[in-house]
């Protein structure tokens, strides 16, 4: 019923790795790489200065040789500065790519978890559906359905519908455990070895889901039959959401919703 997330240990591991890589990326100072590259470039700049100056002097004479040598040295330094900037940016981009790689890795892990959960949920739903008829006519469950429906209908009828509220919504929650069923206004049916009624425990998740589904579906059907229209005149929607985890507790929620037929737009002055 809720969106799946990574287990806490994997989420912590993911965040730690990403945090470390982000810190490393932030610590990359491209200017430092430029400076370091220029230190190495100075040696080549001096060599270029001497070589170009000597070559120019031999080819064209002394006049202008100093200028050519200086331009050659400056050109070498510019090239090394660019190389330093490229290296620094490459290092930064490496850490950023690693961050994306880590995100993709854990996203894929979550997809595998979701696929496994979906397969497990589908299996649980099939098993619960096969048990539906076993619980549908049980007198204790029918009593819960009758009581829960009566209470839920009462709450729907008593809901305020002021003209400043656009929507109406009301929910009933049912919690099915191994040896008890909790429903409207904390009412509970206790059974099992120490329960009020000597009924066998609902030992499997499929049994618990089947019971939760039977109760919720019947309550929803009766509420929908009672309220094809809301007292405010609006069309109604009654939905059922039932847990699909193989937990010791299976929850089902029946939700009644509609627009408020009494709603009025504000009148401008």
Collapsed DSSP state (helix, strand, coil) of residue 238: strand
| Contacting residues for 20 by C-beta, under 8 A, at least 6 apart | none
pLDDT in tens, the chain (269 residues): 556 787 888 899 999 999 999 999 999 888 888 888 888 888 887 887 887 778 767 776 666 677 777 887 888 889 988 998 999 899 999 999 999 999 999 999 888 888 877 778 888 888 889 998 889 989 999 999 999 999 999 999 999 999 999 999 999 999 999 999 998 767 788 887 776 778 888 989 999 999 999 999 999 999 999 999 999 999 999 999 988 777 788 999 999 999 999 999 988 88
Nearest to residue 259, comparing CAs of 161, 154, 153, 158?
A: 161
What global pTM score does this model have?
A: 0.65
Whether residue 213 contacts residue 146, with contact meaning beta carbons closer than 8 Å, is answered with no
Chain segment 115-154, per-residue pLDDT in tens: 877 778 888 888 889 998 889 989 999 999 999 999 999 9
Q: Which of 3, 189, 203, 15 is nearest to 113 (CA)?
A: 3
Length of the chain: 269
Give the strand order in the sheet containing 187-190. Answer: 187-190, 180-183, 167-176, 250-259, 236-242
pLDDT tens, residue by residue, 179-215: 999 987 677 888 877 767 788 889 899 999 999 999 9
Cβ atoms 81, 34 nearer than 8 A = yes
User: How much is the pLDDT for 34?
Assistant: 87
Question: What pLDDT score does 196 carry?
Answer: 72
């Amino acid at each position: 019923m809720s969106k799946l997330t990574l287990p806490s240990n994997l989420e912590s591991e993911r965040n730690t790795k990403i945090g470390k890589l982000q810190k490393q990326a932030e610590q990359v100072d491209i200017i430092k790489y430029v400076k370091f590259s220029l230190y190495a470039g100075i040696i080549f700049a001096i060599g270029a200065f001497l070589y170009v100056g000597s070559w120019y002097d031999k080819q064209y004479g002394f006049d202008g040789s100093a200028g050519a040598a200086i331009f050659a040295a400056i050109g070498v330094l510019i090239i090394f500065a660019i190389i330093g900037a490229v290296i620094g940016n490459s290092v930064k981009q490496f850490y950023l790519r690693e961050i994306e790689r880590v995100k993709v890795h854990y996203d894929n892990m979550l997809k595998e978890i979701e696929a496994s959960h979906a397969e497990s949920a589908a299996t649980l739903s099939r098993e619960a559906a096969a048990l539906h008829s076993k619980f549908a006519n049980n007198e204790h469950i029918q009593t819960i359905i009758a009581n829960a429906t009566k209470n839920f209908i009462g709450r729907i009828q008593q809901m305020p519908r002021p003209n400043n509220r656009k929507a109406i919504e009301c929910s009933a929650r049912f919690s099915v455990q191994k040896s008890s069923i909790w429903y409207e206004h904390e009412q509970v049916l206790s059974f099992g070895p120490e329960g009020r009624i000597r009924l066998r425990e609902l030992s499997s998740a499929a049994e618990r889901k089947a019971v939760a589904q039977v109760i919720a579906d019947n309550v929803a059907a009766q509420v929908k039959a009672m309220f094809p229209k809301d007292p405010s005149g609006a069309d109604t929607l009654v939905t059922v959401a039932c847990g699909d985890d193989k937990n010791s507790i299976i929850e089902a929620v029946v939700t009644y919703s509609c627009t408020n037929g009494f709603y009025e737009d504000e009148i401008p002055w």
